[in-house]
Structure 1
Amino acid sequence: MYKRMSAVLFPLTLILLIGALVWGYQENQEKNAVLLKAENQYQRSFHDLSYHMERLHGELGNVLAVSSTSDGMHRKSLTNVWRITSQAQSEINQLPLTLLPFSKTEEFLSKISNFSYKAAVRDYKTKPISDGEMKNLKALYKNSGEISKNLQEVQHKVITNHLRWMDVESALATEKKAEDNTIIDGFKTVDKRVSAYPELNWGPSVASVYNKRAVKKLNGPPVSPEDIRRKALKYADLGSGAKVHVTENGKGTEWESYTATVSGANEIVSMDFTKKGGLLISYHNDREVGAPKVSMDDAVVKAGEFLKRKGYSNMTPVSADRYGNMGNFTFVTKQNGVLIYPEKITVRVGLDNGHATGFQSSDYVNEHQEKNRKITKPRMSLAEVRKKLNPDLRETYNRLALIENDEGQEVLTYEFGGRINGSKYRLYLNADTGIEESVEEIRTPSGAQKK
């Protein structure tokens, strides 16, 4: 009996053992194939990065080699600089450097990209390259040469010593020191040297991309938690029996604020206030929104009434979107017939009863000016600017609007709304020169309905 069982089980066990060995071998082969593919990807990205940094250095040299009054060559070379830096940024993102300090180099490339793009697309006849920009280009030429040289040194060691990027990834992921830290040390050295470069004056167009919004211009003295408690009860309007809990945020930083949670009988309202001046930044009512019964036209009126009750007057709706049973409305300040887009407030309304459920006013809080802005009269008439529109655009409205341009400067524009190529657009043309300051397609988000 035992002989019969062994005669059956032994071949079966042998077959299972062989199957397990084959399966393990195949799994190991597949794993090695994945690792090899990843290693090849890393190696290609690294060598491409080194190549493009060398190209960047050469292209910046081309900009400096021609006359400062050159138009076409400057435009061509700066466009190439923008393209090459964008490729270099992409290659850095493909390397396993997430845990490695390389932010200074990435920021340096980002600023070169923005600087070169904005310089390449402007009109050199009215705004040629300035002495300051030429000084920047010389510094960038020198710095990019140093970065290229450092990366080439790392590249030479990688090729000579057959170093693997997978070892780098493993070392960074486990926070252990790799046997050969040549690659890690090389990138740390590059980033350390970049951080030591003197800060350049990139100009307002580039600086506006990186400058964080300051809260120093907010008016009013710091307020106490008790002040916020009284304000929160007033804004929530949930009755005298409501309870308030106030939390202080960012203590000791430039961005100090308060969060107030007001609990009523059936609703809870959460609000954020600035510590300086006690200004309302956001408002959220977590009530359950029922089936829609209020039209978008009626809802935008109720949103405007909500703003007036909260102390925001002279606000005009400029856009409306519907998401299921919710309506989102954007309002801006209106001054002497001009829309002030930097002073923007967004209100979310429940379409079941038209009551506001959300409110966001950080743009308004940071950009609002107590005294009216000084807005000069347009140098060009509406008819003159309209001639610069695409003749195929079917204009539906026009109005004066103050917006921020790419350089972070406020400019007066004529805003035109219209249709072309089956889509809706808003175009903002400078009221003094007729130049297009901004063009945006009016898209309907997924699940949303335009008013």
Structure 2
Amino acid sequence: MKKRWLTVAGIILAVAIAGYWGRNMYLTYQQMRSEVNNRYENAFQGLNDHIDDLESELGTVLLAGAPDNLAVNLSNIWESASSAQEDIGEIPIASDSLDNVKDLLQKTGQYAKHLEKEVVDGGIDEEDREIIKELHNKMSLVNRNLETIHDDMEQAGFRWSDKRRVKIDQDEQRFSITPLAGLLDLRDELNVDNISVKLKEVLPAGVIDFEPQDLITSLSQLDGEEIDQNQAIEIAQDFIRNPEEYEYEIIANEKIDIEGETVEAHVPAHTVRAVNTARANETIYFDISKVGGKVISLLNQREVGQAQIDEEEAQDIAIQFLEENEFGNLAVGSAKRFSDIMLLSIIPEQNDVLIKPDAINIEVALDTGDIIAYNGLDYILNHREREDARLEADLSLEEVEEKVSNDLDLIREPRLVLTEVDGEEILCYEFIGRITEEGTGSYLIQINANTGEEEVIKSIDQDFYKNVS
């Protein structure tokens, strides 16, 4: 009898322990979902706020007359445009639905920075005023659409944590019921072709970023021989660690989406689809340049399970992956964890200088350490050996540090970077920190290593830098 009671007591205790453990696991899971949802929601809200600020500042520029006031407003515009682009980068939307918004933000920031230098000795002329007015109208359109989407999200009780990747596709009806499907309407309504034409007429050569047509031309002019479809599949197989697990095919890719319109375009890249034969719902897409056979991008469309590896291991995996693919002299520029995924920017080094225009973006799944996303376009288009003289600073770090406010509490060691400002590569000392130890706002400052002039100062997400080892 006593033994039976002991057995019963043991079972009760085991059930109690299991219940306690299960409850704790549930609470931990819910806390994680809440944290992820809040992070993405803050990024989307940040985008809304910065777009609203841009509409207001552009309207103010139309009314301002004094050069000093104009300079302040224009400075605010390009800083808000930069911050809004960073917000977009933090939102987990795997589609091109925000590409037109990013294009508008880039052009707005570039034009504002150009005008800021021009208005020192006077106001803006009528031609500039017409461009500002058109930018204001476009930004108003974006602002109204995003506000509507945000209101719909609140009414629907939308939570970002419901999906690790939010995909929007007109052909996928199951996503049409989400409030984010409104971004497709925004993509169709927003057209920046006219703005692009006007800005190319007034801005210095090289300031405006690549247009889709320019990208096609650049990929067609890479060094190397043209490869066929079979060679593209072989390159895709060599790029990943477990090629034998997949079946491969070439996808026809003779159209391109430009400003919401699908047009015929002989895109100089082979698209390879690799379907995993053992794991359902895992497909990898590769874009490989037809000239030179360079892997432009990789995207592994699979669900990511619970994290089993930490952030530092993910950084090592990313570096090792690139080294196995014959990339050398690399450093982690920034790293940030999103739930069970690690997003990293890997930057080539030359003479201990980070070459930022050649950055490679990688996503590592923290469940298995797989590389689930890779974008090497900037590396392919920009990478080359820079002249040693271009990477030698005239000013020492100590001389430049005097120009940085004592209120900036550094979160990583300053270092030399080659960065691009208004289409020109400039050697800078880069400082990353926050205003106070307790402060939440973080900033990136780049000071010209030869002239001591402040080239870039902007608010950043500290999380992208705090995990860098």
TM-score, with structure 2 as normaliser: 0.54
Give 3-state SS (helix, strand or coil) of 1:414's partner: strand
Distance 1:255 1:399 in 2: 38
Could you tell me how far 1:239 is from its partner in structure 2? 4.4
Indicate yes or no: 2:417 matched with 1:430.
no
1:438 Cα offset (Å) = 1.6
Q: Distance in 2 between matches of 1:111 and 1:299?
A: 34
Query: Which residue number corresponds to residue 102 of structure 1?
Result: none
Partner of 2:234: 230
**Equivalent residue, structure 2, for 1:399:** 415
Paired position in structure 1 for 2:341? 326
What is the alpha-carbon distance in structure 1 between the residues aligned to residue 253 and residue 125 of structure 2?
A: 44
| Contact 1:269 1:283 (8 Å CA) reproduced | yes
From 113, 120, 128, the equivalent of 2:116 is 120
| 1:163-312 equivalent positions in 2, closer than 5 A | 200-204=201-205, 206-208=207-209, 213=215, 214-215=218-219, 217-240=221-244, 242-250=246-254, 253=265, 255-267=267-279, 268-312=283-327
Gaps of 5+ in 2: 1-58, 78-102, 134-193, 256-263
Cα–Cα, structure 1 residues 328 and 437, in superposed 2: closer, same or farther, change >3 Å?
same
Q: Which amino acid aligns with 1:400?
A: L
Query: Which of residues 370, 382, 392 is equivalent to 1:367?
Result: 382
Change (3 A) 1:198 1:388: closer
Contact 2:335 2:463 in 1 (8 A): no
Contact 1:394 1:419 in 2 (8 A): yes
Q: CA deviation at 1:279?
A: 1.0
Shift in CA distance, 417/302, structure 1 to aligned 2, threshold 3 Å: same
> Which secondary structure state, in structure 2, belongs to the residue aligned with residue 259 of structure 1?
strand
Determine if contact 1:403/1:410 at 8 Å carries over to the other structure. yes
Q: Which amino acid aligns with 1:262?
A: A
Paired amino acid for 1:271: F
CA distance in 2, matches of 1:223, 1:445: 41
Deviation at 1:401, TM superposition (A): 0.2
Question: Which runs of structure 2 are paired with 1:7-86 in the superposition (5 Å)?
Answer: 75=68
Mapped to 2, the partners of 1:261 and 1:312 lie a distance apart of 24
Q: Which moved further from structure 2: 259-268 or 235-244? A: 235-244
TM-aligned CA distance change 1:321 to 1:197, over 3 Å: closer
Q: Distance in 2 between matches of 1:291 and 1:80?
A: 46
Give how far 1:290 is off: 2.6
* Partner secondary structure for residue 201 of structure 2: coil
Q: How does 1:143-154 map to 2 (within 5 A)?
A: none
| Higher mean C-alpha deviation, range 323-332 or range 264-273 | 264-273
SS in 1 for 2:321: helix
Aligned partner of 2:91 in structure 1 is none
Q: Give the direction of change, closer, same or farther, for the CA distance of 1:239–1:77 in structure 2 (3 Å limit).
A: closer
1:170 counterpart residue number: none
Query: How many Å separate the matches in 2 of 1:225 and 1:83?
Result: 48
Once residues 284 and 194 of structure 1 are traced to their aligned partners in structure 2, the CA distance between those partners, rounded to angstroms, is 32
Task: Specify whether residues 360 and 138 from structure 1 end up closer, same or farther in structure 2 by C-alpha distance, changes over 3 A only.
Answer: closer
Deviations, residues 68-98 of structure 1 (Å, cap 9, x unaligned) = xxxxx655567789999xxxxxxxxxxxxxx
The CA RMSD measured in Å over matched residues stands at 4.4
- Give the partner amino acid of 1:248: A
Who is 1:166 aligned against?
none
Measured at CA, do residues 284 and 373 of structure 1 come closer, stay the same or move farther in structure 2, by a change above 3 Å? farther
SS at match of 1:389: coil
Contact between 1:79 and 1:116, CA under 8 Å: does it hold in 2? no
* Range 324-333 or range 437-446, more displaced: 437-446
Shift in Å at residue 261 of structure 1? Answer: 1.2
Contact 2:114 2:203 in 1 (8 A): no
Structure 1 counterpart of 2:115, one-letter code: A
SS in 2 for 1:342: helix
- Summarize the Cα distance change of 1:115–1:356 in structure 2 as closer, same or farther, 3 Å threshold: closer
Which of 1 and 2 has greater Rg?
Answer: 1
Q: 1:336 matched to which residue of 2?
A: 351
Inter-partner Cα distance in structure 2 for 1:295 and 1:278 = 33
CA contact (8 A) 2:335 2:345 kept: yes
Q: What is the aligned counterpart of 1:140 among 124, 127, 132?
A: 127
The one-letter amino acid of 1:270's match is Y
Change (3 A) 1:231 1:210: closer
Q: Percent identity?
A: 25
2 CA distance for matches of 1:302 and 1:322? Answer: 14
2:267 is matched by which residue type in structure 1?
Answer: W
Q: Which AA in structure 2 matches 1:410?
A: E
CA contact (8 A) 2:74 2:115 kept: no
SS in 2 for 1:397: coil
1:225 Cα deviation from its structure 2 partner? 0.9
Partner of 1:440: 458
CA distance in 1, matches of 2:291, 2:203: 31
Residues 123 and 433 of structure 1: CA distance in aligned 2, closer, same or farther (over 3 Å) = farther
Name 1:186's counterpart in structure 2: none
On the 8 A contact 1:233/1:262 being kept in 2, the answer is no
Residue identity matched to 2:274: V
